[in-house]
Amino acid sequence: MSDSVIITEKSGHKGYIILNRPDAYNTFSEEFALLLNKALEDFDKDDEVRVVIVKNNGKHFSTGIDLHELEKVEDSKLLEFISLMDRHNHTIANMRTPVISSVKGYCVANGASLSFGCDMTISAESARFGTTAVNIGLICTGPGVPLSKLVSKKKAMEMILLGDQLTAQQALELGLVNWVVPDDELEAKTEEIADKLASKSPLAVAAGKIGLSATYDMGFHASIDNGSKVFAGLCKTEDAAEGIRAFFEKRKAEWKLR
């Protein structure tokens, strides 16, 4: 096994990012955050990769920021350090490639931030989610941003200010995860969803991901106009024409990324 705290692998059209600090519960260190963002950015530039899967080695997906490292950060460097811990949310939102998190064990604090920030999440039944920093005198303002886009304001306040953990089923009911499966079926379900995404038109998926992500910073009418612009641009591509032809000819489309 690699000694790197972030391992990357590629298989066909799937890129894998493996969180690899199992002895530290996959907590975020400076190196971990930097390599995570680089891996996301590198896969997004790779035209062969149509879906990215984030998963973990060890028992837990991630239990947040490494408190041992946080304690050593000088006051003058704290904003820079914390901004790095939150950078994955910017990175994922700006990517054209969809990102799936495959979660087992504890997924709390900055680990929850990573999962909430991904486009889809598959969870093992035994997983636990939470914005738990308040329990040690801190607060999950970073994880609270993607969280607040997924649940109501009152529920977000409850989670961030009380710091309780949720079962995978509770997270599913709140819309924080897409699927909950038995622990021994997590990998198979993740691969199933990734393969399904990879089979779609990469240009269409990218247009949908970027277009929808952009609406979070817009008002209602601007969002509608933006959606029209994205869709019209997609209609001009060769792959859109190929998809329509394949539909009428009852055959599988051959995507050219043009």
| Interval 125-167: pLDDT, tens | 999 999 999 999 888 989 999 999 999 999 999 999 999 999 9
Both tokens of residue 180?
């909950």
Which stretch of 68-72, 162-166, 190-194 has the lowest confidence by average pLDDT? 68-72
Q: What is the reported pLDDT for 248?
A: 79
Detail the DSSP E strand segments found in the chain: 6-11, 14-19, 51-56, 99-103, 106-108, 120-124, 128-130, 165-167, 179-181
Query: What number is the average pLDDT over the span 171-196?
Result: 98
Query: What number is the average pLDDT over the span 10-37?
Result: 97
Q: How far is Cα 103 from Cα 56, in angstroms, rounded to an integer?
A: 8
Residue 116 has pLDDT above 70, yes or no: yes
Residue 216 has pLDDT above 70, yes or no: yes
Are the C-beta atoms of residues 204 and 243 closer than 8 Å to each other? yes
Of residues 25 and 226, the one with the higher pLDDT is: 25
- Residue 235: pLDDT band by 50, 70, 90 thresholds? low
- The single-letter DSSP state of residue 244 is H
Are the C-beta atoms of residues 181 and 127 closer than 8 Å to each other? no
Q: What is the reported pLDDT for 217?
A: 77
Residue 3 has pLDDT above 70, yes or no: yes
Q: For 13-140, where are the alpha helices, taking DSSP H only?
A: 30-45, 67-72, 78-94, 110-117
Mean pLDDT computed over every residue of the chain:
92
Q: What is the reported pLDDT for 93?
A: 93
- Which pLDDT tens digit goes with each residue over 35-54? 999 999 999 999 999 999 99
Q: What is the reported pLDDT for 5?
A: 98
Q: What is the reported pLDDT for 227?
A: 67
- Which pLDDT tens digit goes with each residue over 83-107? 999 999 999 999 999 999 999 999 9
Residue 244 has pLDDT above 90, yes or no: no
Percent of the chain with pLDDT over 70: 97
Residue 257, sorted as left (phi over 0), alpha (psi -120 to 50) or beta, turns out to be left
Both tokens of residue 254?
């051959």
